[in-house]
Amino acid sequence: MVPVSFVAENIENLYELDIFYQKVAMDSGIEEYRRVPALNCDPTFIRSLHEIVETAVAWSEVATES
């Protein structure tokens, strides 16, 4: 299971993905069910967010100076 729409894990998502949908998968005949972890505090993800914010702030400052 690759939950592409989640960037952070929370108790509701963990319950649904790790317990509820694992049971659904097993009941459907899927023998192995694993979930990859969300990005959470992965250093590359945090750096990317930082760069996006820095770029947006820089563009905002340029736009307001014009």
Q: How many domains does the chain have?
A: 1
Positive/negative CA dihedral, 42, 50, 10, 25: negative
Domain that holds residue 34: 11-65
Identify the burial level of 33 via C-beta atoms within 10 angstroms of its C-beta, where 0-12 means exposed, 13-18 middle and 19 or more buried. Answer: middle
pTM exceeding 0.85: no
Per-residue pLDDT for the chain (66 aa), expressed as one digit of tens each?
777 777 888 888 889 999 999 999 999 999 999 988 888 878 998 999 999 999 999 998 888 886
Structural domain includes residue 4 = no
